[in-house]
A and B are shown apart, each in its own frame.
Chain A
């Protein structure tokens, strides 16, 4: 700042240059990059504060993402388990629908049965709205091939069973009408059974023994994955062969052939209720139940079950979401705490910035960028952590999780809003104070 003085113009030269006129118009909007730099410098200058702030939100966001993913995963796995049984399926089983007081009192309780005759009755009566109706009898027997031997549920089925349960063949063929007519000794294996018995070998054409009886393997099913009632662990044989050669007396009650289930595949979901009502009416009559009697069988509707379970899983998701929300809130309050603790220093800093020429807008922009950067960082780190936790759960096989864009967006905006709200509030107040008042704030 060396200025050369000429004696003739001694004193006021510089002064006039600067102060003789109104202040120059200044660039009202500082460059964004400039503001960003100030904000980042402020963040770096207050590392501890930044880290603590980040931590609170990161934990919150991670919890939200992880819990929502797990909730979503639970829903998806339950839904897929139910749907893998085939949609539009009515399952008729023996037994009372509800365990009412009568069932508990025990006195008049007797094992209820479904009969092969019930199937025949329904088969004749249900002529419209259904695509198939099949009986199922199932019992566990020892299965042997070579040195391998274990117990497996053996299911007596008809040809249409494959359509009703939407099975796919991995190899060979399914049970046919012909098999039932001539009561052939053939078997179709679920994928796990095939693997357990034969390993790498092709099972087709091999002879296995079920309860000592020789069956020829004619087909293997595609794997359906572990779920409720998965066919992977089952062996399928012609139901007539079963009644006549394998199941024996246990499949007979009061001289009548029994079945475990009757499966009805309805053509259209709209007709589920009609068909279900017809089934109830017919079976009530054939079981000679009075109108006041409870049903001694129940008709399970796929979509009903799905709906009920959906509400359950939705509640679960909401519940998990609420927990996650609370943890975010706690994180937010943590931020506010930290901000309030540093509010004295913050207020002084803002006072000083205003004293050296910062406008309120510049200060607010700086704080907004600061908070936004923090929240962004929190959001990204939190999401990564949350996704990591969710994946860890999936991989460990504890709970399957599905990471959805929704949960990530939700967590992200929540982080942003909480960060901005809790971070900006104290600063906003300070920006409105006179600089000296802010500087003297205690």
Chain B
């Protein structure tokens, strides 16, 4: 009987376990997690913070799910190092777990920038925002009067800000970039999002950064690089994430920022696989290897790893970012290339805060941003991922709302009937 061991109990790890079970109904599957909670939707932590999702709805799978699939989950267990020769993982506290196939699905952790005066161990009002526990601690600490500073206007920072709305005195988001979510939004789209958030009392200080903080056990003020000084009762650091590769380093896996894997999600060592936020993926457009922090790609890669671990060959697709996020009712979907010099087609209605921006390069759709007009966005996403030649479609996608009828009758019939035949 095969022994499968998975480090990390989240999108990548669980989808891997599912895929293994689908292909091997006898094998022994173990997932270990250093968190104390059952697997939850990590992106839901801002919904927990705001109160929109109750604790019982945080969980990614039902309570008896793992039992029903005969998957063993060990919580509060942290992998410390790997013994490749004896095929064992040592856990903190002295435990040892044997494996035949190992998956590293350790995700990512917060990137902590160098800020003068910052001491995360001592300062009790400084938070990161990546785990359920982070959110629970933050929610306990805030009061109606708290002046909150969020360092970082990426989507994690903005989601933290939205989650705090209405529960604190003031919220100010600080970022060095000239716009919010700079990596996934062009300036015009970012301005719509920012304006909408400002209307909901979120303040922004852009093109500047937190450079020094004051207060020994509690931060009381922060200094920005533009010399402004701000009062601060709560500081949330959300400037980015870094792959968790400590465990990979114990066995000298090939890494760049993340762990390097091939298209079967195999690492540079035999019988060791890796998937999710902790790996480098190939970017669909540039072919470069990059770290993506995306739930869907973590799930996909986990599934692919699981298939291959169970000896059923499957290749991972190349990755491009697709993000669907809402802020205070403003619905946003962004995908692929949003900033490069492509030919743009933009339909904009500022009154309704609607925007549809299609980025076209040569004969391909390479990216889009949709704000409040996201119906059927997945068709655009498929045009990108399948690298469809726009000239072969039945109509010009910039001329009207896209539909499945954009494909020619033959193509449409094939796509429509095909997935069902398998």
Binding partners A and B:
no
Residues of A whose CB lies within 8 Å of any CB of B are none
